[in-house]
Structure 1
């Protein structure tokens, strides 16, 4: 018995190490193939780069001189600055995100092993690591929510263990990750209140509401150029908005990886306020299963899965006992059978950098370090580490004309590309779908401006 303890205790860390390698390989390889984007990897690199040099988090891709605290309240990203100062590259952020997401598998797997046994617990932990919500976060560049996932996993693990004060202590830092994490922290406080620690639960919920309101009403507007919360207009009413299939599909997709056994644990209710807040908005991007929005819900759902299985194993009903034994294996088989981005890591062809990408990289190297560039979304993160990069389409304008412009020729860029000659730009280089323009002509605007207004896609 004692000989098996080291293997049991080391399994969560070994699993996290494997996931870290897989996540890093996937995201870094996508960046090498120019599949990362300015929205949002380039934006976060600009902010972290500013922090690393002890400056405010300016992200010029959001607008010249835009302070990113005027977009979201995420002071936690300053923790990435020391790593970026040592390794100044967007790859640093991708690897850091991979580490944070992989780290979240440790508390999930550890609790699952304790509640369900070693083999079942490892299967459940691996199913979590391969879950679609985590993989979608890995494949969509870098986001601040990566810091929330391990914090939340640890907090919900402690809730399952009834360690109320420790769970609260791990939950409160979520308020520094992003303003919408207040919904989850308030839910954790409500859960603690419901389970009997009323004073502690009420305090956690009150702090979540106050910090969330402070961020949305005061802090973000103070840094925003329009002195408002930029996402307030996306709010709607559940009763006034039609409930499309995507919302229902998202709920099913969250529960299906657990074979719906997560519903046997009250811990799953912690995910409800955050999910309802997303459904409340009028932005379809927040309703579905794409992007990074569901990553923070995965630890909740899978820890509820482990807790639900433990409740089933304590039952005297044979059908529940048998279901609890096979559920983790079935969950793992299900996670492995669903086509997901991590599969590409096993494909040798996916590791080859296309020749057109190498040509594009050589083309971008003709742009000197430290210069101002208006770059297309797919090109921006290739330049943010060494240039001041703006968003092509928003810039250039008659009043602000960066020295360089890089376009990809996408259909939505065509109207703006047609305006470049009138702004004094000429083609400097062109290859493989990428065109580099340089401002070489001084433009004297007539008193009424350009004869026709600049078109925007």
Structure 2
């Protein structure tokens, strides 16, 4: 085991561990993508990157389909909709040159694996500033084995994957007093998303409360609050009304009565209802504790003893606790990565010797701790449990090749069947021209997202660059997957029952022709006659489905 106390190894072992971790995560993500288990968000980000590469910065029809104008006002998705109204993510431009060289959703999966691997390396060097090699290595391995780290990184590409990378870099720059780099990384963190100001505020709160760099800490807190208020109340509303009409209502609707609210109005509503605020803060207690245990487990619960952890992780934890239904309190969701840096840095500072009793003292005035043999065994046990839990929670169905998606009723697609099905889908999609507009079912969306106009089924109409309504040229749907999963998942059953009559109506009306169908995979093209063989396969599929 990596946590056994061996003779100190050189840096090559550290790099080898990081490289092995990268290969494993990249391999799992690529397998997930190529077997058509990557889903809608992977498509959104790929379309954003694709549009960025073609000069249409941050535009996406897939994001437009989720906008308040479409969901609430009934408007059509637009090709020129800028996602910055939903999430302000200029940091994605950092990776624009890489995507220009390798324009594919695969690039995003590899980038996400690289974010995680490099973040672990930075964490090792951060720990090494305070601790001896073996303990630093143990903390790095705990990061690579943490359920709250692995689950979000094994999902679709997302912007918050950058947070541990930038945060550990920021803390490393702080430790070595490289304030110019520190300042640049503050800006990089803020550029990740509008709410990344919240974990950055936690860094400022720690620097201020610990009296290590109180002036810098006060400045970071002021910058974080100012940026968050400015972006959510001035910049984002320029692009759309999503922040006030959708996200604030969906996440904090319990505090307000209106159908629209700014972030400042939500904050005021919270402060003016202390009873409701307290109730949301402490309930559900079991869910909150379970979430915290997920973060503490790979570090043998040490973060719970660290005031540094509570100061740094407190702001993002508070935000997730106060959201409606505490939807963010899930270690499989990307928001967990906002909490992770505080957990691991807090553990480093605790091992350095600064707990609650000695908090506020200079680190030079406290004595570093060293784990006893029994504790090292306990730590190994905790890390093993964390690693075991990851595949059994099956984050984003990444391990569906090895474990059932459902046990009761049993739903399992063996690995050979996954790849056979992937080959069938690939042959179907190869018939769609790269520049054609498309509507697709969820798990096909990422593979077709590198184009100007793509929607998710059942929508088929959008506004083109001229602002004119237009129907998509092709429709690609995997009904076989929905039929297989509908016995266990209500959402798949609802989609299946919605898509079948829609497809039948489009074929019968002559608006679209069925040009290919195989085992529940269907491809329709606008204005074309149906292929007789495809129609026969379609009717056979429907007849078999009706008897199941």
* Of 22-31 and 415-424, the range deviating more from structure 2: 415-424
Matched, 1:170 2:172: no
Superposed CA deviations along residues 369-393 of structure 1, whole A, max 9, x for unmatched, are: 2000011111101111256311223
Q: 1:29 to 1:281 in 2, by over 3 A?
A: same
Aligned match of 1:110 = 125
Superposed CA deviations along residues 243-287 of structure 1, whole A, max 9, x for unmatched, are: 233333112211222221113322202011101101211155422
Aligned match of 1:248 = 289
Q: Hey, what's the Cα distance between the residues in 2 that align with 1:218 and 1:43?
A: 24
Q: Hey, what's the Cα distance between the residues in 2 that align with 1:150 and 1:317?
A: 26
Superposed CA deviations along residues 71-104 of structure 1, whole A, max 9, x for unmatched, are: 1011000122211111111000110111111100
Q: Hey, what's the Cα distance between the residues in 2 that align with 1:192 and 1:139?
A: 32
Q: 1:92 to 1:361 in 2, by over 3 A?
A: same
- Residue pair 2:351, 2:368 contacting (<8 A) in 1 also: no
Counterpart mapping for 1:62-141 below 5 A: 62-63=63-64, 64-65=78-79, 66-113=81-128, 115-141=130-156
* Of 204-213 and 61-70, the range deviating more from structure 2: 61-70
Aligned match of 1:275 = 317
Q: Hey, what's the Cα distance between the residues in 2 that align with 1:324 and 1:155?
A: 30
- Residue pair 1:369, 1:387 contacting (<8 A) in 2 also: no
Alpha-carbon deviation of 1:202? Answer: 1.5
Matched, 1:32 2:72: no
Q: Hey, what's the Cα distance between the residues in 1 that align with 2:204 and 2:368?
A: 33
Superposed CA deviations along residues 17-40 of structure 1, whole A, max 9, x for unmatched, are: 2211111111011001000012x1
Matched, 1:260 2:301: yes
Q: 1:81 to 1:109 in 2, by over 3 A?
A: same
Q: 1:352 to 1:22 in 2, by over 3 A?
A: farther
Counterpart mapping for 1:17-416 below 5 A: 17-38=19-40, 40-63=41-64, 64-65=78-79, 66-113=81-128, 115-157=130-172, 161=175, 163=177, 165=179, 167=182, 170-196=185-211, 197-224=213-240, 228=244, 230-233=246-249, 234-235=251-252, 236=254, 238-239=277-278, 241=280, 243-244=283-284, 245-269=286-310, 270-282=312-324, 284-311=326-353, 321-322=372-373, 325-326=376-377, 328-340=379-391, 353-386=418-451, 388-396=453-461, 399-409=469-479, 410=482, 411-413=493-495, 414-416=497-499
Unaligned runs of 5+ in 2: 1-5, 65-77, 256-276, 356-365, 403-413, 464-468, 483-492, 530-548
Q: Hey, what's the Cα distance between the residues in 1 that align with 2:7 and 2:446?
A: 45
Aligned residues: 436
Superposed CA deviations along residues 213-242 of structure 1, whole A, max 9, x for unmatched, are: 111111111111668463111214543548
- Residue pair 2:152, 2:334 contacting (<8 A) in 1 also: yes
TM score, norm. by length of structure 2: 0.72
Alpha-carbon deviation of 1:326? Answer: 4.7
Superposed CA deviations along residues 330-389 of structure 1, whole A, max 9, x for unmatched, are: 443333343436995997x85885212211110111111200001111110111125631
Q: Hey, what's the Cα distance between the residues in 2 that align with 1:5 and 1:76?
A: 41
Secondary structure at 1:368's aligned position in 2? coil
Q: Hey, what's the Cα distance between the residues in 2 that align with 1:276 and 1:404?
A: 45
Q: Hey, what's the Cα distance between the residues in 2 that align with 1:351 and 1:154?
A: 42
Q: Hey, what's the Cα distance between the residues in 2 that align with 1:227 and 1:272?
A: 23
Aligned match of 1:432 = 519
- Residue pair 1:221, 1:229 contacting (<8 A) in 2 also: no
Q: 1:170 to 1:24 in 2, by over 3 A?
A: same
Superposed CA deviations along residues 274-303 of structure 1, whole A, max 9, x for unmatched, are: 011012111554222222221232232122
- Residue pair 2:116, 2:164 contacting (<8 A) in 1 also: yes
Q: Hey, what's the Cα distance between the residues in 2 that align with 1:76 and 1:385?
A: 20
Q: Hey, what's the Cα distance between the residues in 2 that align with 1:54 and 1:5?
A: 53
- Residue pair 1:168, 1:204 contacting (<8 A) in 2 also: no
- Residue pair 1:315, 1:321 contacting (<8 A) in 2 also: no
Q: Hey, what's the Cα distance between the residues in 1 that align with 2:99 and 2:7?
A: 38
Q: Hey, what's the Cα distance between the residues in 2 that align with 1:220 and 1:90?
A: 26
